[in-house]
Amino acid sequence: MTYYDDFGGHETFAKLVREFYRGVAQDEALRALYPEDDLGPAEDRLRLFFEQYWGGPTTYSEQRGHPRLRMRHVPFAVTPDMRDRWLLHMMRAVDTLNLDAELDDRLRDYLTRAAYSLVNAPGPDGAY
């Protein structure tokens, strides 16, 4: 058993990412970070990444190579505001999963740490 299985497998990660991108689509500032007109490809990539990270299929690496999250985000100005917007929509998406407390905490902790690690540009006050 892996965390992927504990979380509920593909269906859970598909729901998480689908709900997240519903929020992104309504957030003008965050949506601007996604160059594609259709968020579907971004949704697929994020779902595949999460599935692999948590012990599921390795499709992400098979299709895209090593995740290299920081490198993949360099072209985008990920400011503290963008991080906070991302976390807002992601945490709302986690709310829809109804996970048990330990898994919920584990997922939220990972998402928060990941979001903070990807900030690569200062906010208007110069802070990261």
Residue 102 maps to which CATH number? 1.10.490.10
Query: In this structure, is residue 102 part of a structural domain?
Result: yes
- H or E element: which one contains 93? helix 80-95
List pLDDT tens digits, range 76-113.
Answer: 889 999 999 999 999 999 999 999 999 999 999 999 99
Query: In this structure, is residue 127 part of a structural domain?
Result: no
Model pLDDT, residue 31:
95
Q: Which domain holds residue 46?
A: 3-117
Query: In this structure, is residue 124 part of a structural domain?
Result: no
Q: CB pairs under 8 A, 24+ apart, for 61-69?
A: 69/114, 69/117, 69/118
Query: In this structure, is residue 80 part of a structural domain?
Result: yes
Number of folded domains that form the chain: 1
Sign for the CA dihedral angle at 64, 106, 111, 95 comes to: positive
Query: In this structure, is residue 123 part of a structural domain?
Result: no
pTM for the model? 0.93
Look-up: residue for tokens 């601007």? 32
Q: What percent of the chain shows pLDDT beyond 70? A: 100
